[in-house]
Structure formats: C-alpha cells, structure tokens
Chain A
C-alpha cells in the first residue's frame, strides 16, 4: 500500500507541474512522473520479497524479482537522457524557459520566418 500511495502522490505532483508555466517546472514534473513509473514497475515485481536477488546472498524464496529491477534500470537511463535533452531545450533557442507565448502556431511561425 505504501508504494501505491507514493505512486499516487508522485503522479499528482507530476500532473500539477505539467500544468505550470515554464519549461523547467515541466521537466521537474517529468522527473516525478518517471519516478512514479519506476516505483510502479518495482511494485509489479511484488514487494513482499525484499531479499537481494543476487546469487549467494539470499534464498530463492526471499529474493526480489530481478526482471522489474532490470526494467527500472533501463527506464532510469532513458528518462535521464531525455531529461537532459529537455533541460537543454529549456535554456537554448529562446530568451527564457517560458512556455506561454503566442507565437506557437505553425502558420504564424512559418509566416514570420518568411518575413525576415
């Protein structure tokens, strides 16, 4: 149950942050969301088994499921790389990380690109 509560809180925080103004807040939201997904993956491996799934350290019955741990390990790396890219996007190409800006429409931007 504690994992379910943690996942719920993290997801709620993520959704709240997605709706905020500013790219960095949105990136923070994504960090929360990937934390939530990773916790959920751990929970999928049944958290009743808490032993280290490393040969020779615990009995077969006690060790945690290693497959979700491998999933989480992969997902962390992927989320990390995309977070890096998003942070780079937040600090390049415009003056600030503001996300509420009326120049977003493709027609407008493509039109503006012709004009200069």
Chain B
C-alpha cells in the first residue's frame, strides 16, 4: 500500500478543486451540489483514513508532484506522516458535519456555499501535505480566499466589519509570511522544508527568517499578543461558518508551527522559553476574555484562543510526552470546539439569539441539545470520562516532567476558569425559566428567516439582511403558530456526532494516544521525514 499511495496524494487537492468548480457550474440543482459536496468530503475522509492506517507505524509517505526527478529537490514535495494524516482525517470529519449543519440551516442552498467549502478543503489538504514553505503560503491563500467569501456572504446581516478585519489581518499575516519566505530563500537558498532541516540551528540568519515565518503563522493561529482579530470576526458570521472555521484555519496554522519548528529548527531548545511564555499568556488571557463575554459564541471564540495556548505547550516543551500530549490536545480540541459551536449554534439558529440574558430553560425544552452541550463542555474543561481529561492530564504531566511548574500551574488554574465560563453558558441558557418573550422572539426570527424564498443577501440595502429558504411543512406549522418553536433534529445531529466522538476518544483514548505518539516520534526525529522527501 505504501507504494500506491504517494502518487495519489495530489488527488486530495485536485479532486475537491475540480468538484468545487463543478458545483459552482451547476446553476440550478441544489441537490446535485449537496451530493457532490458530501460525496467529495466523504471520499477525502476515506482517503485520509487510509493514510492514517498507512502511516500509523511511523512510515513517511512522500511524493514529488510532477515526478520531477532531479537533484537537488526541484519539485514540490507532498509528504504525509502520522501527524498530518490525523489532522486531515479530523478536519474532513468536521467538514462533513458542518456541511450537514449548514444544510439544516439552509445556508448550503446558496449557490457558492458548497464550492467554497470544497475549495477550502483543497487548500487545507494542500497546506497540510506540502513540504515547501512557499507552497504552504499558496495553499494557505487557497484556504483563505473561499473563507473570505463564506464569512462575508453569511455574515452580511451583521455588517462589514467582521469581514474587513478578517481580510485585513489575514492579508497582513500572509504578506509577513511572504517576507519570511523571501528571507529564508535569500539566506538558505531553498524553501524546501526537508532541505532546510536544521538550518535554523546552524545559521542565525536563517533562524531570523524562520522566526518571521513562525510569527506570521502565529498571527494566523491567534496566539495572545495578536489574538484580537479572531474574537471580533468569528462571531460576526453564521454559526455554521464559525463551526467550520473553528477547526480549520487556526489548527492548520498550529500544525505548520509544529512542523516547521520540528524540521527547520530541529526542536532547538534555546528558543523554547519564548513559546512557553506566549502559550501561558494565551491560555490565561483567552479564558479571562471568555468570562467577560455575554453571547454564547463570543465566549466560545475566546475559549478557542485559550485552548490554542494549551495546544502550543506541546511545541514549547518539545519532549516525547509533550508533543504527544499537544497533538492529542489538538485533535481532541478540534472536535469538541466544533461540537460546542454546533450545539449553541442550533439554539441560535432556532431562537434567533445567542445572548445569554435572552435565553433560559433550554434543559427542559431541548434536552438533547443540553446533553450534547454538556458532554462537549465538560470535555473542554477536562473532566474524566471525556477526551479532554486525557488531553489535559498528559499536558500537565509533560510540563511537570520538564519542571515547568509555573506553566503547569497556569494550565490548572485556567481549567477552573474554563469550567466557570462553561457554567455561565449552562446556567444562562439551559437552567432557570425561559424568558417570557422567548417564543415570540423565536417566531419573529423564524418568520424573518423563512418567510422569503431562498437565500438572498441584500447587501446594498439600508440595513443589510439575509433571508433564507422556502418554509418546509414543519416550518409552516410553526409560522402559523400550530406548533411551538423547537430545534429540529437535523440541527442537533451534527453536534451530537462530534460529542459522541469525544466520548469515544475519552473511553478509548489509548487508540488516539498511540497515533499521537507516533506523530510525536516523527516530529522528534525529523530525519525520517527528510529522508523520505529526498528519496521520493
């Protein structure tokens, strides 16, 4: 199997691009677009599952795109090892569930929703597999451009500020990345990651170039000195888009930080303290921001920042256990965060608001959502039966092993605050009595959303609005007040699937831990990665 797979790797980028174009070309058929999108994402999932199986023993698969067979390395290499195949697998799961969620909210009816998601996925696959820094920049742009479209299209009712900030900051980070690539090429003479192996240790000039690259990627990952853009943009679009983005952009950046520090800097111990300071601040400031927020989604977005801090501890320690824990945390967190965005997003899509003050009593009204939310929230805070416990426990163990007691202390204290703000959502949204005007507001919202046919963004109007979908039979019953407003099952299912996965990885943590350990081995000893690229 290891011989057949490498030449097929470019298909992971090519097929979604092609299918995205096909989806955009099909003008009228919504159903065809749904099928194309779900089919392609499922195929990507199956392929990445195959890659996980092929690389679970530490094998590194590499392919030179275009079969350029010269030395030195001329072609763009696509490299897959345990780490990026795992990340890709989880991201395709998130893609499938968030597309299901968007289909339930009728956003996926829009002509360009599915094409954008597929092109985004092609960019993700490319950014994860590529072994070349300039190509990484290109694929990050391939990933970002459809995201701009999604964010602006679905967030039009909330004004242009979110999209403006998002595009500006990301373009700035991309330009900085380009500066870094230029500096690396100027000093080291190559942008091939495998050829740059250890270059950051030997030559300070290359290290500075590499640091510019890492800073740019750090902006994209929203670590603390540069986190403000994320909290102002992710809540400014629809819940489905936030759920999709939550597991993709920042996480691909985190992957890139892990990979570049492992190969280019060879895990150099001299600079690790910077990462530890930054991650501790990220954990702390992220969670403090979360406590201060008032809507479910902005709380969760601040939490994302805090959790990014946890994940990057792994690279700050750069030990076997630290990397294993960091990778496990990354995979666990992508699932849990998307699940949380989907369960609270389902309430937001049905009742028309995510403000904690305007909601209440959902435990009785929507018990399934309550269970889904509770599982994911407890997992996020790191309580025993769920995957978050394993992730946090091993992270803290790894910090103690290296005697970084203050980092461990921050990680433990931040968990308490995490639980506190999850309880804030729980108490505000699920407990207590529903406010008197809850039903009225929900009906007004549903009427606005489902009164007109099809999704239409009236961007030029005085106050921009977004209207979605023809009313279904059940929706008509709600609108004519024959039935009470309820979250439909199809909105609950995507989040519940992800919550089930976190339970599975809690009880069956051994499996994911083993795979993370292999991935960490590959990062600790990048020689195999380098060799695979050179001999591909």
Contact = CB atoms under 8 A, between A and B. Distances in A.
A92 B160 contact: yes
A37 B182 contact: yes
Contact of B236 (A44, A68, A89, A109): A109
B179 A23 contact: no
A37 B134 CA distance: 13
A79 B179 CA distance: 13
A113 B137 CA distance: 36
A94 B171 contact: no
Contacts of B164: 23, 86, 89-90, 99
B158 A107 contact: no
A94 B182 contact: no
Contacts of A23: 164
A31 B471 CA distance: 45
A68 B190 CA distance: 10
A90 to B, nearest CB: 8
Given A37-B179, A44-B183, A94-B159, A85 B235 contact: no
Interface in A76-116: 78-79, 81-82, 85-86, 89-90, 92-94, 99, 101, 103-107, 109-111, 113-114, 116
A67 B188 CA distance: 14
Chain A interface SS verdict (over half): helix
Contact of A114 (B168, B182, B355, B463): B355
Interface residues of A, number: 44
A85 B295 contact: no
B232 A106 contact: yes
Nearest to A82: B171
B161 A43 contact: no
B178 interface: yes
B232 A41 contact: no
Nearest to B351: A114
B167 interface: yes
Contacts of A99: 164
Contacts of A105: 232
A1 B201 CA distance: 27
A40 interface: yes
A49 interface: no
A80 B172 CA distance: 14
Nearest to B184: A44
Interface residues of B, number: 50
Contact of A40 (B182, B231, B459, B464): B182
Given A92-B460, A106-B236, A110-B235, A40 B179 contact: yes
With most chain A CB atoms within 10 A of its CB, the pick from B157, B179, B445 is B179
Interface in A1-56: 18, 23, 26, 30, 33-34, 36-38, 40-41, 43-46
A40 B141 contact: no
Given A106-B298, A107-B298, A114-B358, A89 B232 contact: no
Contacts of A110: 158, 235, 295, 297-298, 353-355
B232 A68 contact: no
B156 interface: yes
Interface in B181-227: 181-183, 185-186
Main secondary structure of the interface of B (DSSP, over half): helix
Contact of B148 (A40, A85, A111, A116): A85
A114 B352 contact: yes
B152 interface: yes
Contact of B163 (A18, A37, A41, A89): A89
A15 B297 CA distance: 32
Interface in B115-150: 134, 137-138, 141, 145, 148
A104 B171 contact: no
B447 interface: no
B59 to A, nearest CB: 30
A58 interface: no
A60 interface: no
B293 interface: yes
B29 interface: no
B165 to A, nearest CB: 8
A68 to B, nearest CB: 7
B231 to A, nearest CB: 7
A103 to B, nearest CB: 7
Given A111-B355, A114-B352, A44 B186 contact: yes
B294 interface: yes
B441 interface: yes
Nearest to A67: B185
A110 B353 CA distance: 8
A36 B179 CA distance: 8
B535 interface: no
Given A71-B134, A110-B295, A111-B355, A103 B171 contact: no
Contact of A113 (B157, B182, B185): B157
Contacts of B525: none
Q: Which 9 A-B pairs have the closest CB atoms?
A: A44-B186, A93-B160, A106-B235, A37-B178, A40-B182, A41-B182, A44-B185, A44-B182, A114-B353
7 contacts: A37-B182, A40-B178, A43-B182, A44-B186, A92-B460, A107-B293, A109-B159
Given A93-B156, A94-B159, A103-B161, 9 more contacts: A18-B168, A26-B168, A30-B171, A38-B178, A75-B178, A82-B148, A82-B174, A93-B159, A106-B231
Interface of A: 18, 23, 26, 30, 33-34, 36-38, 40-41, 43-46, 67-68, 71, 74-75, 78-79, 81-82, 85-86, 89-90, 92-94, 99, 101, 103-107, 109-111, 113-114, 116
Interface of B: 134, 137-138, 141, 145, 148, 152, 156-165, 167-168, 171-172, 174-175, 178-179, 181-183, 185-186, 231-232, 235-236, 293-295, 297-298, 352-355, 358, 441, 445, 459-460, 463-464
